[in-house]
Amino acid sequence: MSTMRFKSAMAIAVVAGVLPAVSQQRPSSPDQYPPNPPANHVEVRFAIGKEAVTCKRFRLTVKVGEQTILAGSFASGFSIPSAASTNNDMLDVEINCGKHKWHFSDVGPRALRQAWWWVGTDYPPFQETFQTERFKDAVWIKYLIVDPINDEGFDVYKFCPTELKDQKPGPCFDQ
């Protein structure tokens, strides 16, 4: 690729706010993770299919019921809001990275601890985490994998079953 075409492609990717970045994918083992995020901080990484993506800035909204406890635009992670320390209720999380959007309800309050978040949409053949009987007929899986430092992690996901992929409205379409 010529230097001029490469620079043009990079400019378009920067304007779009999404760049491929191999180092952003979730490592297969916690032993391979980058250094821990700072205290009271969550680092967020994104992937679409097997390709990692980096957002110049991503938008995040976290609610408890109707109360917004965190909203903003962030480069790679966010500071944990003080309201999280007293919250034991489930969270509603909405994340936007470029043209990609994820919404998860019923996210455990442990998500707002020092942690790594791995957010993405996976397609068959799925990454090992999602190679289960439950997802064998899924068209896609949108996921939030929470890996708290010094605690057990958990996954939150939404998936599209093959038999419902064309049903509107339905679980395969975001509202």
Q: What is the pLDDT of residues 81-98, one digit of tens each?
A: 999 999 999 999 999 999
DSSP label at 57?
A: S
Report the amino acid identity of residue 103: H
Contact 43, 55 (CB under 8 A): no
Residue of 19, 52, 48 lying closest to 143 (CA atoms): 48
* Per-residue model confidence (pLDDT) at position 12: 33
pLDDT (tens digit, 9 = 90+) per residue, 105-157? 999 999 999 999 999 999 999 988 888 999 999 999 999 999 998 888 899 99
One-letter identity of residue 128: E
Q: Is the whole-model pTM more than 0.85?
A: no
| pLDDT (tens digit per residue) in 4-24 | 333 333 333 333 333 333 335
pLDDT at 166: 72
Q: Is the pLDDT of residue 70 over 90?
A: yes
Q: What is the DSSP string of 66-98?
A: TEEEEEEEESSEEEPPGGGGG--S-EEEEEEET
Alpha-carbon distance 88 to 110, whole Å?
8
- Answer yes or no: are the C-beta atoms of 5 and 13 closer than 8 Å: no
